[in-house]
Amino acid sequence: MTAHPASAFFPVRVHRKTRLTEHIAGFELVPADDAPLPPFAAGAHIDVALPNGLVRQYSLCNPPGQVGAYEIGVLLAPAGRGGSASAHHDIAEGDIVRIGVPRNHFPLVPAARSLLFAGGIGITPLLSMAWALHRGGADFALHYCMRRRAGAAYLERLADAPFAPRVHCHPDDEPAHRLDAATLLAAPTPGTHLYVCGPQGFMDHVIATARAHGWPDDHLHFEYFAAPAPQADAPAGSFEVCVPSRGVVAHVPPDRSVAQTLLAHGVPVALSCEQGICGSCLMRVLEGQPEHRDLFLSDAEKAANDRILPCCSRARGGRLVIDF
């Protein structure tokens, strides 16, 4: 039996690879030895070291509490940076891949009622949440939005689930069933929490609708699969970054990230998504004001200005002192 430290990658075997839809592949990962897999809670994800050298994060979609297998769904993104393509084309059943211990930046919180809004591949963490809520006897509803039913993953699994009556599908090509977020979110109650996951446009719409109807921010929970494109009005200036424990003082030019600069000066930075989503590279801010460009820290955490994700965030001013 082998215990897996939280900071380490460990091997698993691809027990089953399934074509869930034309563009989504499902992977069932099982232990490569006799050790049970580390437990996980609903909303958790794992880092996957892909054959092409990239590391990407994928949400666990099977019921939490299972230690014999992890299940992930991977959407092929033709315009992506190559991670999903490697998963689709380079991984086969029986292969050994290396993954990280589950981490959870999108946990369920105790609530009188939970509303789960999934857009496309965003169904993966919410599927696990639905299982957790059902097993806990909680009041919830799952709203699953898709372009068309034929391109949606896990529909059969949802139809066969014991919580199937709580699942509502909203295909864009079926006008009678399209999502009406304004109606569903019109009357927030103090004990209801909202969870949203999917493409940026879908998430922005749902979150903006909720806020317009008076939902408090601490009742809104969301997770992005990709960072939005940089805004044209957010120029990247140059500044100085210091890491006292390493004795490093370096110039960060406009075309390099803080993380890239630190790595070039021998400072180890735990990079994974490199988009400010996963939180792997989080560092402390000792002096200076960060210009936060990540999707990991909450608004309150950004306002505290005591942490930064150096893969994407920068400095407001000429100097930033950070450390581990």
Q: Which of 100, 135, 167 finishes a domain?
A: 100
Mean pLDDT of the chain: 91
Instruction: Please give the share of the chain, as a percent, with pLDDT higher than 70.
Output: 94
| H helix and E strand count, the chain | 7, 16
What mean pLDDT do residues 234-240 have?
A: 79
Does residue 6 surpass a pLDDT of 90? no
Q: 153 and 249 share a domain? A: no
Report the predicted TM-score, pTM, of the whole model to 2 decimal places: 0.80
Using CA atoms in the order 275, 280, 286, 288, what is the torsion angle rounded to 10 degrees?
0
What mean pLDDT do residues 236-255 have?
A: 93
In a domain, 248, yes or no: yes
Compute the distance between CA of residue 253 and CA of residue 271 in angstroms, rounded to an integer.
19
Q: How far is CA 33 from CA 23, 103, 151, in A?
A: 31, 21, 35
* Predicted confidence (pLDDT) per residue in 27-71, tens digit: 999 999 988 999 999 999 999 999 999 999 999 999 998 889 999
Q: What is the CATH number of the domain that holds 307?
A: 3.10.20.30
Q: Which residue's structure tokens are 């922005």?
A: 204
In a domain, 233, yes or no: no
Q: 180 and 273 share a domain? A: no
Does residue 1 surpass a pLDDT of 70? no
Q: What is the CATH number of the domain that holds 124?
A: 3.40.50.80
Does residue 223 surpass a pLDDT of 70? yes
Least confident of 1-10, 42-51, 119-128, 147-156: 1-10
What mean pLDDT do residues 222-231 have?
A: 67
Structural domain harbouring 85: 9-100
Long-range CB contact pairs, 211-215, < 8 A, 24+? 213/182, 213/185, 213/186, 213/187, 213/188, 214/188, 215/185, 215/188
Q: What is the CATH number of the domain that holds 36?
A: 2.40.30.10
Compute the distance between CA of residue 228 and CA of residue 103 in angstroms, rounded to an integer.
22
In a domain, 138, yes or no: yes
Of residues 125 and 77, more confidence is placed in 125
Domain tally, the chain: 3
* Predicted confidence (pLDDT) per residue in 170-190, tens digit: 999 999 999 999 999 998 999
